[in-house]
Amino acid sequence: MPSDAETAALGARLDFHECGPCGGACCKVGWTVLATPADLDRLERATGRPAREFARFAPLPAWEQAAFGEGNLLFPRVADGRGAVPQLRKREDGACVFLDVRGMCGVHAAKPLLCRLFPFYYETGSSSARERPSPRGTIAPARDGRPSLRLLVDRGHAGFCPIPESRIAEVEEAAGDAAIALARSFEAQVEELARADKGELAARLRPDTPT
């Protein structure tokens, strides 16, 4: 698994579009941002704050479970018996807790790998008309009866990121091997999270007082 420095280097290579002050569109969507134990460790070191202050262990909201559908391979793999996963907290307006006053990520150098992969992300091998597999193809082979995981790029992400659709091919090529390496690191962390003691993790993220 990459060190913090190696993760930062991979992330820098993925900042091919020079993440700028778009107002934090992707950080305001309200989707659950999975935070693996490695993500939590890195964020604790970067912020000097305990993970329970910026993360929680909770189920996905019903609307999000419905939106992901049965084909999603990520959250069911790492959830506990009640469907809870470790995730970043949100502000009252639904935006990420780390979105700063500039409309930018306040922990950009240490943000979760799931965020670093945007606008690439994990999903099943099937794809819709708006979500086509990257030319780089499958990065994790099928095993244990699960469909293969592919690195996809959202062809309908207008409004979520300032990268215009006309530049997607350029973005894919620029991301190239760095995106694949980071995705493989993410997959390794997902596998580790799937095996982790969920009770211990839930206790780590339990606030001292209600929030």
Taking the C-alpha atoms of 141, 180, 118 and 124 in order, what is their torsion angle to the nearest 10 degrees?
-10
Whether 211 maps to a domain, the answer reads no
Number of domains into which the chain is organized: 1
Whether 209 maps to a domain, the answer reads no
C-alpha 22/C-alpha 47 separation (Å) is: 23
C-alpha 187/C-alpha 77 separation (Å) is: 11
Residue written as token pair 């997902």: 190
37 CB-near residues (< 8 Å, 6+ apart): 86, 189, 192, 193, 196, 201
User: What does pTM read for this prediction?
Assistant: 0.78
pLDDT one-digit tens code per residue, 44-92: 999 999 999 999 999 988 887 776 665 566 788 889 988 899 999 999 9
pLDDT one-digit tens code per residue, 86-129: 999 999 988 999 998 888 889 988 889 888 877 776 655 444 44
Query: In this structure, what token pair is assigned to residue 200?
Result: 């211990």
| pLDDT higher than 80, residue 14 | no
Whether 130 maps to a domain, the answer reads yes
Strands 149-154 and 131-140: antiparallel
Structural domain for 95, as ranges? 4-204
pLDDT one-digit tens code per residue, 174-211: 666 777 777 778 888 888 999 999 999 999 999 874 44
pLDDT one-digit tens code per residue, 145-155: 554 555 555 55
